[in-house]
Chains A and B, each alone.
Chain A
Amino acid sequence: MRTLEAGRRHLLRFTLNGRPVEGWAEPRLLLSDFLRQELGATDGHVGCEHGVCGACTLRIDGRAVRACLMLAVQAEGCAVETVAGLGAADGGLDDLQAAFRRHHALQCGYCTPGILMSLTQLLVDEPDADGARIRDVLSGHLCRCTGYQGILRAAEEVFAARRRAGGEAKEGES
Chain B
Amino acid sequence: MKPAPFDYARPDTVDEALDLLAEHGDGARILAGGQSLVAMLNMRLASPTVLVDISRLAPLRTIALDGGVLEVGAAVTQHELLTWPGLAAAQPLLALALPWVGHHQTRQRGTVCGSLAHADPSAELPLVLRHLDGSVVLRSRRGRRVLAAADFQTGMMTTALAADEMVVACRFPAAPAGGRVAFREVGQRHGDFAIVALAATARDGKVRLGVGGVAAVPATLDLPPLAGDALDDALNDFAWGLGAGDDIHATARYRRELVRRLGRRMVEEVARAHP
Contacts and interface: CB of A to CB of B under 8 A. Distances in A.
Most buried by A among B49, B189, B191: B191
B1 A50 contact: yes
A28 B5 contact: yes
Contact of A140 (B3, B11, B49, B105): B105
Contacts of A63: 79, 108-109
A68 B39 CA distance: 8
B43 A27 contact: no
B32 to A, nearest CB: 11
B190 interface: yes
A69 B189 contact: no
A45 interface: no
A4 interface: yes
B7 A1 contact: no
Contact of A2 (B1, B3, B9, B103): B9
Contacts of B108: 63-65
B4 interface: yes
B249 interface: no
A3 B1 contact: no
B154 interface: no
Interface string A44-81: 00000111001001000001111011110110000000
A64 B105 contact: yes
Given A1-B11, A3-B7, A118 B105 contact: yes
A65 B188 CA distance: 23
Given A65-B108, A69-B106, A139-B190, A27 B7 contact: yes
A3 B6 CA distance: 11
Contacts of B105: 54, 57, 64-66, 118, 137, 140
Contacts of B179: none
Given A50-B42, A65-B109, A139-B189, A30 B9 contact: no
A24 B106 CA distance: 26
A16 B56 CA distance: 20
A16 B109 CA distance: 19
B109 A3 contact: no
B9 A28 contact: no
A3 B42 contact: no
Given A27-B8, A28-B4, A140-B105, A70 B34 contact: yes
Contacts of B38: 30, 51, 68-71
B266 interface: no
B82 to A, nearest CB: 12
Contacts of B189: 139
Contacts of A4: 7-9
Most buried by A among B1, B10, B108, B109: B108
Given A27-B51, A28-B3, A64-B108, A69 B35 contact: yes
Interface of B: 1-12, 16, 31, 34-35, 38-39, 41-43, 49, 51, 53, 55, 79, 99, 103-106, 108-109, 189-191
Given A6-B6, A65-B106, 18 more contacts: A1-B11, A2-B8, A2-B10, A3-B7, A3-B9, A5-B7, A7-B5, A50-B43, A51-B38, A54-B103, A63-B108, A70-B38, A73-B10, A74-B34, A118-B105, A139-B189, A140-B103, A140-B104
- Among all A-B residue pairs, the 7 with the closest Cβ atoms: A140-B103, A27-B8, A49-B1, A6-B5, A50-B39, A2-B10, A4-B8
Interface of A: 1-7, 26-28, 30, 33, 49-51, 54, 57, 63-66, 68-71, 73-74, 118, 122, 136-137, 139-140
